[in-house]
Amino acid sequence: MRNEKRAHVLRFLEKGLRFDGRKLHELREIKVDYGISKNAEGSVRVCFGNTEILAGVKMSVEKPYPDTPDDGNLIVGAELSPLSSPEFESGPPKSEAIELARVVDRGIRETKAIDTKKLCIDKGEKVWTSTIDLVTINADGNLIDSGALAAIAALRNTTLPHYDGQKVDYKKRTDTPLPIKKIPIAVTIYKIGPYFLVDPTNEEEDLVDARLTVTSSSGRISALQKGGDHPLTIEDVDRMVSLALEKAEELIKYL
């Protein structure tokens, strides 16, 4: 049946149409709401059509890694909550959730989005750790792009809690924002047959041959992730990267 569904979606794509009436390179309606969790130091709800994902940032003071003694730490977690889809189960994170967290993490880290030196409190002893957690509320495709947008939006929404040199007082929030230098935007281009499209729904995602996530900031590429079962040609990559950079400019406007 997958073949029949695929043949059907190809007839749509040939006419430049999607199953929900969109054009191939058209995003769904995007919404970004800030401050949805007051106990988080930064939080956001991001919707891409029917996909809804929350991101929250908790700040803590930890020991730095020995190889980066004066850099703040970054941790990204992602939960594909069983609340958000009949296909997700309770239990330890599956590879899909881990990939999501790692792709988002890599995008932020490699773009050098956070000025980590500014998060050093006491070299080799104490640095700020930013922990971003993503949780899906309704999963209807394109979790990587929506999750990445939620993560950077939440970081930009973050202010540091008060720290007296001994412990963090979460009740006292300072108005110091995180030192964000750059804004990474992840755009995933999906390939079905000879066609390239963005922001698929769940129904379309099941029919995808290959995908390429391009994370960039001001036109410079900082992370890539190829997914899907089929290979890509060099020409495919050329098209996909161009399209991703173009769409990144559109996505950043929602922040």
Give me the 191-230 binding string for other proteins, x by CB under 8 A, dash otherwise.
----------------------------------------
Distance of CA 167 to the CA centre of its chain: 31
Query: In 3D, which of 136, 159, 244, 139 has the Cα closest to residue 197?
Result: 244
- With CB under 8 A as the contact rule, the residue among 37, 73, 159, 225 that binds other proteins is 37
**What are the Cα distances from residue 226, in Å, to 19, 69, 107, 152, 199?**
24, 32, 14, 21, 16
**Which DSSP state fits 93?**
P
Verify binding: residue 40, other proteins, rule CB under 8 A: yes
Q: How many whole angstroms separate alpha carbon 24 and alpha carbon 14?
A: 10
Nearest by Cα to 147 from 196, 77, 219: 77
- Least CB distance from residue 154 to other proteins, whole Å? 9
Distances (CA, A) of 246 to 115, 125, 147, 151: 26, 42, 19, 20
Binding mask 13-32 for other proteins (x = CB under 8 A): --x-x-x-x-----------
- If one asks whether residue 5 binds other proteins (CB under 8 A), the answer comes out as yes
* Per-residue binder mask for other proteins (CB under 8 A), 168-197, x = binder: --xx--------------------------
Which of 4, 235 has the CB closer to other proteins?
4
Site string for other proteins, 106-145 (x = CB under 8 A): -------------------------x-x-x-xxxx-----
Residue ranges in contact with other proteins by CB under 8 A: 1-2, 4-5, 7-8, 11-12, 15, 17, 19, 21, 36-40, 43, 50, 54, 56-58, 60, 77, 79, 81-86, 90, 92-93, 131, 133, 135, 137-140, 170-171
